[in-house]
A = this chain, B = another copy of it.
């Protein structure tokens, strides 16, 4: 299958200009002025063409709980609402259907890739393959029984099985997903570390709130990042979501380890956790990603909204020049260490998004990065190509029954009091 994208204005955070893109199979074959017989031509006149976005931290299936319990203290929210609902309603069926819904939501905002941590991750894989979305899945490891696993050992074993079946299969990668340093004992954290092969990805929540840090210090005598280092989990394939309460010592440890940070700003605001010092991390050369979190604490998976808020709150934390539009854009298309995507270069994976420039909010445009970060609405996302396949075309999903999946999730939600 070959696709030629013509006449678009192309940007990728490093270079810009009018050029055509030739996709062959699942990769960008050629960039430039191209005239060639292909299977399909996409006219991107009056559009921006860019790498698709990576939503690097979410719990897809939690769309089932979207807006079920808001405006509550974190512990009340978790213990009185989320944990009981999860125990009762999280099963293979809900995970499959609700994850699928969330994938469509993420794609509609221009994402080609998710980075998930939840339960029954084999169902997330199934949904992703059905939709045609790229993703990194991680079966949640905690020190108590989860809806899918009786023990942390079982979750680790399951991760190995998933890895054997899907790692490097194309669309899917598998991560180890120890939940956090406050929900896991040192023994379990070490068990995860001992399971790792050299290239294995670790996805974990770190430094989400002051309370977490105090708790980990009281449990383990060290701060979360120090605990990670001690147990051998702080490495270049470690992706740490949140990192709100992250002091300069933490930042140096992260930098030295070449570990990765995932900024999750709207969830951090909504749960009153704080604003992560992202600009300071970027200044130290740390690699930063952007994620929405699950839609129980966001309450949507719109990654365009997310990068805007990310950029805005850095300015109020530091100054007007913090997290400038182009730097924010680079976070949005960051796939480093996950997949060979995120740049408009020959040989890269063909994950692309085409954005219409005919909206009122696109009038006028002086700088395309400023437009994407500060003004764009996800309704302007016209086409999304993932792994060389067109998944969204003129705002409609290809090969996915959107109405059916919405109906199914609504039916599931009725059991929980959904309207």
Contacts and interface: CB of A to CB of B under 8 A. Distances in A.
A218 interface: no
A410 B365 CA distance: 8
Given A320-B270, A360-B105, A366 B419 contact: yes
Interface string A36-79: 00000000000000000000000000011011101111100100
A280 interface: no
A104 interface: yes
Contacts of A358: 406
Contacts of A321: 71-73
Interface string A300-335: 111001001100110110111110110000000000
A157 interface: no
B416 A72 contact: no
A291 to B, nearest CB: 16
Nearest to A297: B374
Given A74-B320, A316-B269, A360-B406, A375 B67 contact: yes
Given A64-B364, A299-B375, A377-B302, A325 B370 contact: no
A333 to B, nearest CB: 18
Nearest to A64: B364
A152 interface: no
A366 B418 contact: yes
Nearest to A414: B364
Nearest to A77: B320
A364 B418 contact: yes
A318 B299 CA distance: 20
Interface in A264-295: 266, 268-275, 295
A278 to B, nearest CB: 14
A316 B309 CA distance: 13
Given A270-B374, A315-B269, A406 B63 contact: no
A311 B367 CA distance: 29
Contacts of A271: 315, 320
Interface string A362-382: 011111101100110111000
Given A67-B366, A272-B322, A366-B417, 18 more contacts: A9-B419, A63-B364, A64-B364, A66-B363, A66-B375, A67-B374, A70-B325, A70-B367, A108-B360, A273-B316, A274-B316, A295-B361, A309-B309, A313-B316, A360-B406, A363-B413, A364-B419, A368-B419
A410 B364 contact: yes
B298 A419 contact: no
A309 B266 CA distance: 9
Interface in A214-235: none
A371 to B, nearest CB: 6
Contact of A312 (B108, B270, B371): B270
